[in-house]
Amino acid sequence: MIDADRTRRWAIFTGVLLPMAIAISACSTTSDSKQQMSAEQIKTQIIGKSLGYYAGAYSGNITYKQNGKMSYTATGRPYSGTWRLKGDQMCTFLSNNFRAGRETCFDWFETADATYKTGLGYKVWAL
């Protein structure tokens, strides 16, 4: 009886659960395919460009200027700040109460659908 029960559980695992786990894993990695960007890629693809962004409750436009300054809108209001590169990360300091006045550093990722994502969870695209 114990061997039959063990055989039945193994059959369920290999015939149903294992293929489902593999399929789910393949879907999640394929749809969220992204490549971390280097500092050089950030300079050529992000800096100086007009970008749109979406991050949950916030969306708007953002520009990282060549001089280390940035301007953006959030909920329709204009804001500003500064940015710098630290290795392959971008660090920003926002001149308002976002992020409690702290500098925040994050990665940039280029996605398969020609948009970008940040390590903060923002989806970004060229305008």
Q: Which two tokens stand for residue 96?
A: 């308002």
> What pLDDT score was predicted for residue 107?
98
Q: Residue 90's closest CA among 100, 77, 104? A: 104
Task: Categorize the per-residue pLDDT at 101 as very low, low, confident or very high, splitting at 50, 70 and 90.
Answer: confident
How sure is the predictor about 96, in pLDDT bands with cuts at 50, 70 and 90?
confident
Share of the chain above pLDDT 90, in %: 58
Radius of gyration from C-alpha coordinates of the chain = 22
CB atoms near residue 90 (< 10 Å): 24
> Structure tokens of 121?
């969870």
Report phi then psi at 27, rounded to 5: -65, -45
Contact between 54 and 122 (Cβ < 8 Å):
yes
Does the pLDDT value for residue 15 go beyond 80?
A: no
